Amino acid sequence: MSGLVAIRGPQGPMLKDPRTNLRGLDHAELTAWVAEQGMPRFRADQIFAWVHARRVGDVAAMTDLSKKDRARLGELASLERLRVDLIAPAADGTRKLRLRTRDDQLLESVLIPNEGRGATLCVSSQIGCALTCAFCATQSLGFRRNLSTWEIVDQVYQAQDLLAADAAAAGEEWPARVTNLVFMGMGEPLHNYNQVRRAIAILTHAKGAAIAGRRITVSSAGLVPAIERFGREGLGLEVGLAISLNATTDATRDRVMPINTRWKIAELMATIRRLPIHRRRWITFEYVLLAGVNDADADADRLAVLLDGLRAQVNVIPFNPHPHAPFERPSNRRIADFVDRCRDLGLHAYTRTPRGDDIGAACGQLALEGELAETA
């Protein structure tokens, strides 16, 4: 456990707070809520900026609100946050944040420094996951519940607070910012569509954290109806889409990603080809490379056919071995040959270097190891 920073707050579940958590209302919802409470409409702009741009933790800090409105807010609204349970730093600068919810569930997000300034945060959307991808550690938890909007949003603010603390410790005036978000942590984001949609609206709002939509990517294992909705509701024009593909035949994908038994590769690809997406956007296809399962030359050949004509980027992710999956990582030679063959076939293929694999923070490794160890 050396290098881990355990931050233990009060343990045990707390009772649910009946008040509205202001972190979970998008700007339009907050405007309507403020009007319902009989406050002037311009209060919504002020409160939104306090909550999402300045990240205050207490209504009393909202000094441009009247005393009366602050008192009313304190009665009706909460600014509850997740509790930081553990911060695990990896040798490469990646940090895993383990966060605890009010009902004593644990979730994880991963903060990855970018080259230059700024950082990418890998965000969770559910506690556990209902899908059962065979290579993924999260599925070993089963599905516990969806995260609420504020629990998604607060992962970003907890990471931003960590960056602010780094800057303060280094005597720097301007902390690095979370500039990029990837919904690739625990859970299938499109299985929790409404909360993810609302969290994106909050995090991209100009009066709040103002993260650019073009720097946000939502990943899906292939939930076809939700991908159709993603396109229909215009989300594909705002943020990027990544598809966790991981196989080129139905027989292999059925085994590796059982969601494929419901929506086959052909149906998934046809849906993706119909999606309205931003004309400068590329769709990312994630391909976890599993030795002897999906890493043959023939797989690269089929991948090129499947993606033919799409503005697609292929992220080849060499499998990170962990105790929850019966797969092995291909040799470095095989990984390089697979990527070269993809490129020779005209694909934009890259190897994604695993980040944070020494702390169980790399792709497919989020499984609350601490929790499993504690409860074993």
Residues near ligand SF4 (CB under 6 A) = 129, 131, 133, 136, 138-139, 186-188, 221, 244, 364
Q: Tell me the closest approach of the beta carbon of residue 181 to ligand SF4, in angstroms.
A: 16
* Catalytic residue chosen out of the listed positions 80, 108, 151, 286: 108
165: its two tokens: 């603390």
Q: Is 112 helix (H, G, I), strand (E, B) or coil?
A: strand
256: its two tokens: 């590796």
What phi and psi, each to the nearest 5 degrees, are found at residue 176? -65, 155
CA distance between the termini of the chain: 17
Are the C-beta atoms of residues 179 and 211 closer than 8 Å to each other? Answer: yes
Q: Which residue number, 139 or 204, has a Cβ lying nearer to ligand SF4?
A: 139
Nearest to 106 by CA among 74, 61, 75, 138: 138
Q: Which residue number, 288 or 304, has a Cβ lying nearer to ligand SF4?
A: 288
Q: Which residue number, 51 or 245, has a Cβ lying nearer to ligand SF4?
A: 245
- Give CA separation, 128 vs 18, 185, 219, 225, in Å: 25, 10, 16, 21
d(CA 279, CA 232): 16
What phi and psi, each to the nearest 5 degrees, are found at residue 77? -125, 150
Q: Tell me the closest approach of the beta carbon of residue 332 to ligand SF4, in angstroms.
A: 24
Q: Which residue number, 138 or 248, has a Cβ lying nearer to ligand SF4?
A: 138
d(CA 41, CA 32): 8
Q: Which residue number, 208 or 240, has a Cβ lying nearer to ligand SF4?
A: 240
Q: Tell me the closest approach of the beta carbon of residue 90 to ligand SF4, in angstroms.
A: 20
Is 363 known to be catalytic?
Answer: yes
Residue 220: what residue type? S
Rounded to 10 deg, the angle between the 224-232 and 193-204 helix axes is 40
Nearest to 325 by CA among 365, 373, 356, 371: 365
Q: Which residue number, 129 or 218, has a Cβ lying nearer to ligand SF4?
A: 129
Q: Tell me the closest approach of the beta carbon of residue 73 to ligand SF4, in angstroms.
A: 36
What phi and psi, each to the nearest 5 degrees, are found at residue 85? -100, -35
- Give CA separation, 218 vs 67, 221, 245, 375, in Å: 41, 10, 14, 31
132: its two tokens: 């059962």
Q: Which residue number, 121 or 133, has a Cβ lying nearer to ligand SF4?
A: 133
Residues recognised as catalytic:
108, 363
